[in-house]
Chains A and B, each alone.
Chain A
Amino acid sequence: MAVKENPYKKYLREDRLPHIFCPGCGNGIVMNAFFKGLEGSDVDFDNVSMVSGIGCSSRIPGYVKCDSLHTTHGRALSFATGLKVGNPNQDVVVFTGDGDAASIGGNHLIHAARRNIDLTVICINNNIYGMTGGQISPTSPKGSFGTTAPYGSRDVPFDLASLVTAAGASYVARWTTAHPMQLAKAITKGLENKGFSFIEAVSQCPTYYGRKNKLKTPVLGMDYLKANSVTKRRSEKMSEEELIGKIIVGEFANRPHKELCDNEEDLVNENYDGGLAIKSAFWEEF
């Protein structure tokens, strides 16, 4: 008889549970969706390496029973680039937050997308800096409150899925924690896409975003996400005005093209014969 436990728990380092996330934080849901997406894909869990930056969302890889690199704030994609190019046989998955990916790491994000390096990036967008206590982020909606926007944010936020699409990623999708099944499916596609895959998971941070923006409980936060989501297809028939405050969900890009590691390998094969040298650090002789 199978163990009577949550089906996603087997992927986690049990000696680290419960994890540090606040009650009802969306991070745990996105983590589950990732495992479900993985199960639905042709990717083998044993072949997965994870990378993250700094933030609540970036703590996820540390709980997963696999090799994981918890790096510096904003730089996860730089580290992931070296990790993947160094050994293209691994399936490298990056967890990042909106602050991590789009603020301090914004430049790395667009360049990784441009190179179409074969990474699956799951960006948990809770519209705020959770780890540091509720400051606004580049995705905080206009008018939303944070500890550094006591009068409400005045800037126009980034539309991450569109930004990364424009930068050249071959697979881009956005869903929310209120759509875990769709999110899992998008992650499956992202994992199977040989190229840069970016899955934006809009999520609730009840502790900071919720408290500052009248969405105090996790359930209120998720209800808000659900009520304000519009599918990509429907959004195309809506006016700009109607779309204010809406979260467009669905697939933004699905256009496979040559990715960075394949380009590197082609370069070697075209100019010199012989494959890529991996794990050179363990070699005996030169």
Chain B
Amino acid sequence: MNIIDSMLCKGCDICISVCPKDVYAKSKEVNSKDVYVPYPANQEACVKCGLCEISCPDQALYVDREVE
């Protein structure tokens, strides 16, 4: 699973926007800083391109590259 560190995420939605496979969606719950942290709603579609990782301004996002 791709992981988003809710301590670091500032809820900018860039990951949702840049992912070519629409992997992320906004969650309904807020973190301690009142931020709606995205989650990988569509994990199977991920092609591990790393675009979300490099585009996350807050180093909050981890792409799981381990073969399941």
| Chain A residues at the B interface, C-beta cutoff of 8 Å | 4-9, 12, 17-19, 21-29, 31-33, 36, 177, 180-181, 184, 206, 217-219, 222-223
Q: How far is the CA of A68 from the CA of B46 in the complex (A)?
A: 37
Q: Is the CB of A28 within 8 A of B17?
A: no
Instruction: Name the residue of chain B whose CB is nearest to the CB of A6.
Output: B59
Q: How far is the CA of A12 from the CA of B54 in the complex (A)?
A: 14
- Chain B interface main SS type: loop
Q: Indicate which residue in A23, A27, A29, A177 contacts B10 across the interface (CB closer than 8 Å).
A: A23
CB neighbours (8 Å) of B16 from chain A are 219
Q: Is the CB of B13 within 8 A of A217?
A: yes
| Chain B residues at the A interface, C-beta cutoff of 8 Å | 3, 5, 7-8, 10-14, 16-18, 35, 50-51, 53-62, 64
CB neighbours (8 Å) of A36 from chain B are 54
Give 4 nearest A-B pairs by CB, closest first. Answer: A28-B57, A24-B12, A23-B10, A6-B59
Instruction: Name the residue of chain B whose CB is nearest to the CB of A7.
Output: B53
CB neighbours (8 Å) of B53 from chain A are 6-8, 32
Q: How far is the CA of A222 from the CA of B14 in the complex (A)?
A: 9
Report the minimum CB–CB distance from B20 to chain A (whole Å).
12
| CB pairs A–B below 8 angstroms (29 shown) | A5-B59, A5-B62, A6-B5, A6-B53, A7-B62, A17-B59, A18-B7, A21-B57, A21-B58, A23-B12, A23-B35, A24-B10, A27-B57, A28-B56, A29-B14, A29-B54, A32-B54, A32-B55, A32-B56, A177-B55, A217-B13, A218-B12, A218-B13, A218-B14, A218-B57, A219-B14, A219-B17, A222-B14, A223-B17
Report the minimum CB–CB distance from A249 to chain B (whole Å).
16
Instruction: Name the residue of chain A whose CB is nearest to the CB of B10.
Output: A23
Looking at B7, B59, B61, B62, the one whose CB has the most chain A CB atoms below 10 A away is: B59
Known: A28-B56, A29-B55, A180-B54. 11 other contacts (CB 8 A): A5-B5, A6-B56, A7-B50, A8-B54, A8-B59, A12-B59, A18-B58, A21-B57, A23-B10, A28-B57, A206-B12
Q: A21-B57, A26-B57, A29-B57 are in contact. Are A6 and B62 (CB under 8 A)?
A: yes
